[in-house]
Amino acid sequence: MTAASADHPGRDESGRAAPGAPPQAPPYATPYPPEATAGGPERPDARPAGARSPRRVLGAAAGVVIVMVVLGAPLGLLWRALAPSVAVLKTADGAVAAQPEPEEFIAADGWFTLLGLGFGIILAVLAWTLLRRLRGPVTLLALALGGIGAAVLAWRLGRSIGLAGFRRLVESAPTGQTFSKPPDLRAGGVDWWAGVLPVPHGDLLAPALAAVITYTLLSGWSRWPSLQPEPEPGPPEPGQRPEPDPRPEPDRWHPYAGPEQDQPPTSDQSPEPDRREP
């Protein structure tokens, strides 16, 4: 009988379990349940790290809507600067277009649509990048509402620049005088459902549509199922023992596995011949 090792009671000098010794857990095993951390035992109702509170999500969504609506003002000024004015002629019946089919109306709608699409794409990318911990359907809904609000503000602000002077000329200009009309949308506007609920349509939906499509595509290309960046497993710090693999390894022999495991093959033992028929 071999004497037990001093460093590992119940095992001999070679590391194998001594005959008659009770089974012991391997020295690298993690005790269960895990020990309490230095901060005390974890509460059952404690929020896990990285969890999003509903108040924080709703607050961020409201901030997205407010920021997008406020940015609708410079969007309207840019549209007013790029969209051409329409030449009109004063007649006895009022002001009419000086040309039979003026292209300025189409240009005004086209500029507003292009600017709205770019506006929605840029804001969706910024929301995806800056609000990485708050990604989800609430932010998507905020982008849609903010895009609609920004479009309405941009349209109302852009068309109002010079509108008062145009109306004054319509009333006071003599017949036959030509002057300019500020750009306006013909393929977009706001209708009132049941006289209570405003329903935007046409070009006013371009920013919201672009933001929703861009944000949805970014969500589909995300490599994280939760859409939130997850920490990547890195190398263990110096002096830190790596966590053992909880998966069983039935084909691997370990000297601390106990006497019930088969002994490792020795050089004297030859492998069994292949008895399969050729």
Does residue 216 lie within any of the structural domains? yes
Residue 240 to residue 110: CA distance in whole angstroms: 62
Does residue 10 lie within any of the structural domains? no
Structure token pair of residue 243: 């966590």
The structure's pTM equals 0.63
Does residue 258 lie within any of the structural domains? no
Q: Are strands 178-181 and 86-91 parallel, antiparallel or unpaired?
A: antiparallel
Question: How much is the average pLDDT of 240-249?
Answer: 62
Supply φ then ψ for residue 40, to 5 degrees. Answer: 105, 170
Query: Would the pLDDT of 147 be above 80?
Result: yes
Does residue 180 lie within any of the structural domains? yes
Q: Look up the domain containing 82 and give its range.
A: 57-220
Does residue 26 lie within any of the structural domains? no
Query: In this predicted model, what pLDDT tens digit does every residue of 71-111 receive, in sequence order?
Result: 999 999 999 999 998 888 888 777 777 777 778 889 999 99
Residue 147 to residue 141: CA distance in whole angstroms: 10
Does residue 128 lie within any of the structural domains? yes
Q: How many folded domains does the chain comprise? A: 1
Q: Are strands 86-91 and 188-193 parallel, antiparallel or unpaired?
A: unpaired
Does residue 194 lie within any of the structural domains? yes
Does residue 158 lie within any of the structural domains? yes
Query: In this predicted model, what pLDDT tens digit does every residue of 149-176 receive, in sequence order?
Result: 999 999 999 999 988 888 888 888 888 8
Looking at 35-44, 187-196, 269-278, which range is the least confident one? 35-44
